[in-house]
Chains A and B, each alone.
Chain A
Amino acid sequence: MKQIASFIVNGKAYELAIEPHMLLVEVLRDELGLTGTKHSCGIGHCGACTVLIDGTPTLSCLTPALTAKGKNVTTIEGLAEGTTLHPIQKAFIDFGAIQCGYCTPGMILSAKAQLDKNPNPTREQVKQALSGNLCRCTGYVKIVDAVLAAAETIKKGGK
């Protein structure tokens, strides 16, 4: 039985008809066409489904959509401003931190949440913050390099 619920995704308001058993990842991908968020392991280990809910990294594949109503949901699509990439996105490209790209949205959002909370992380702190995002391609080194570089850019007022 569908219910109408209000969602705020990447700053935009949506009124959607949602069935209670729909997961947030399904709503984002199938109802809103925001396919940056991936459904991968489905059991909370890989982090590919990571979105930010009120700024907090959350697994959208373990979140019934209705529990996210009225909250600020940020997906990877919400980071760029028009065609201007977020410093973390730009750093990922510059540092070769993207191969197949599947882990990238979740990885960038976890990184963003960390830099928002702690703009000056150590390498170890970055690794801790990303420990819930698995990558099968890159071996992580360039990902961590990219996040630390983005931190520098952001500190210098870069956008």
Chain B
Amino acid sequence: MSRLLKPFEYLEPETVEEAVQLLSKYGDKAKVLAGGTDLLISMKKRKISPQYVVYIKSIPELDYIQYSQEAGLKIGALATHSTIADSPIIKDKFELLATACGKVGTPQVRNMGTIGGNICEGGPSQDTIPSLLVLEAKLKLISLHSERIVPIDEFFIAPFKTALQEAELLTEIQIPTPAPRSAGCYKWFTKTVRVDETLVGVAVLMSLDSTDGICSDLKIGLCSVAPTPFRARRAEEVLRGKKVDNTLIEQAAQVAAEEAKPRSRADYRRRMTKVLVTEAVNETWRKIR
């Protein structure tokens, strides 16, 4: 009977160590399987046909959400979008990330797909990434002989090309506790319907000084409007250290739109970048005041 997938060998490590040993042994003949919502589609379309599929969801120590004020938030790479979107601690203290994970795909896709798999896919339009950028997430990558921490804004090189090396496994996402008097949000719009590809995604994290409404920090993360998700750093500078007002917000949004490099529907998406950045900064500002 002909099957939808080409044959492969199925490996099911029970620890991270076993997993990286297998990845090291089989190199580019192996692919990591977690939720499968990206990998299985690529395999069905014959874009990739790995000889070895290394299923890592049986590794118990990779699915967790831990938080403390000092250490910040630590999310295991196997935490699903559903778990993150529904997590009381993330909804309370890192709301924009819960919002972003709640937007991914459909309920079924969110139940299956993992944050680690999503990050490693490295696409330009992934909803989770702008929030991780503004939260200044760091990624823990483990291989047979090394362990390294990579800031997320150094992870995306080109569309679907990340800094993940062969035989390396993303195990943890580390997010520092934001400064007091901070808030954030994630705003987006889609092509036609609610469950749809994101055409412009904007995450904002802002901190206000305890005096006089001065913006002590502003971070703006964008997806879908450049080859990779990125921080609109010139736009951030417009408001950083200044007293927030509507004129400056509009200026920052304009600069963000200029920093965007959308591939298709470029004019429209640049204009919508300005609209969404304005909305996002305004909403965040209201939340803090």
Q: Determine whether B227 belongs to the interface, using a CB cutoff of 8 Å to chain A.
A: no
* Cross-interface CB contact of A131 among B5, B55, B194, cutoff 8 Å: B194
CB-CB under 8 A for A58 and B4, given A44-B37, A131-B106: no
B41→A62 contact, CB < 8 A:
yes
A-chain residues with CB within 8 Å of residue B109 when the two chains form the complex: 44, 59, 132
B195→A23 contact, CB < 8 A:
no
Cα A39 to Cα B44 in complex, Å, equals 13
Q: Determine whether A96 belongs to the interface, using a CB cutoff of 8 Å to chain B.
A: no
B-chain residues with CB within 8 Å of residue A26 when the two chains form the complex: 3-4
Interface residue count on the B side (C-beta < 8 Å)? 29
Which of B3, B5, B9, B106 gathers the greatest number of chain A CB atoms within 10 Å?
Answer: B106
Least CB distance, A41 to chain B, in whole angstroms: 10
Chain B residue at smallest Cβ distance from A1:
B9
Q: Determine whether B33 belongs to the interface, using a CB cutoff of 8 Å to chain A.
A: yes
B-chain residues with CB within 8 Å of residue A67 when the two chains form the complex: 33, 36, 55, 57
CB-CB under 8 A for A42 and B33, given A47-B108, A58-B108: no
B5→A58 contact, CB < 8 A:
no
* Cross-interface CB contact of A132 among B4, B40, B41, B195, cutoff 8 Å: B195
CB-CB under 8 A for A21 and B3, given A44-B105, A58-B111, A67-B57: yes
A62→B36 contact, CB < 8 A:
yes
Chain B residue at smallest Cβ distance from A109:
B108
Least CB distance, A53 to chain B, in whole angstroms: 9
Q: Determine whether B112 belongs to the interface, using a CB cutoff of 8 Å to chain A.
A: yes
Chain A residue at smallest Cβ distance from B105:
A44
Q: Determine whether A37 belongs to the interface, using a CB cutoff of 8 Å to chain B.
A: no
Least CB distance, A109 to chain B, in whole angstroms: 10
| A32-51 contact mask (Cβ, 8 Å, vs B): 1 or 0 | 00000001001111010010
Chain B residue at smallest Cβ distance from A128:
B107
Cα A3 to Cα B9 in complex, Å, equals 11
Cα A132 to Cα B104 in complex, Å, equals 11
* Size class of the A contact interface (CB-based, 8 Å): 20 to 34
Interface residues of A in 18-34 (CB under 8 A from B): 19-23, 26, 30
B-chain residues with CB within 8 Å of residue A3 when the two chains form the complex: 10
Interface residues of A in 111-132 (CB under 8 A from B): 128-129, 131-132
A-chain residues with CB within 8 Å of residue B53 when the two chains form the complex: 20, 64
A64→B55 contact, CB < 8 A:
yes
Cα A63 to Cα B7 in complex, Å, equals 15
CB-CB under 8 A for A56 and B111, given A64-B33, A131-B106: yes
A-chain residues with CB within 8 Å of residue B44 when the two chains form the complex: 42-43
Chain B residue at smallest Cβ distance from A129:
B107
Cα A21 to Cα B4 in complex, Å, equals 8
* Cross-interface CB contact of B108 among A20, A50, A66, cutoff 8 Å: A50
A-chain residues with CB within 8 Å of residue B194 when the two chains form the complex: 131
Q: Determine whether A57 belongs to the interface, using a CB cutoff of 8 Å to chain B.
A: yes
Q: Determine whether A75 belongs to the interface, using a CB cutoff of 8 Å to chain B.
A: no
Least CB distance, B192 to chain A, in whole angstroms: 13
Cα A20 to Cα B9 in complex, Å, equals 6
Q: Determine whether A104 belongs to the interface, using a CB cutoff of 8 Å to chain B.
A: no
Q: Determine whether A110 belongs to the interface, using a CB cutoff of 8 Å to chain B.
A: yes
3 smallest A-B Cβ distances: which pairs? A132-B106, A20-B10, A21-B5
A-B contact list, 15 entries, CB within 8 Å: A3-B10, A21-B8, A23-B3, A23-B5, A23-B40, A42-B4, A47-B108, A59-B109, A59-B112, A63-B112, A64-B10, A64-B33, A67-B33, A131-B107, A132-B107
Q: B interface vs A, CB < 8 Å?
A: 1, 3-10, 12, 33, 36-37, 40-41, 44, 53, 55, 57, 82, 105-109, 111-112, 194-195
Q: A interface vs B, CB < 8 Å?
A: 1, 3, 19-23, 26, 30, 39, 42-45, 47, 50, 56-59, 61-64, 66-67, 110, 128-129, 131-132
Given A23-B40, A62-B36, 6 further pairs, Cβ under 8 A: A20-B10, A42-B44, A44-B37, A47-B108, A64-B40, A67-B36
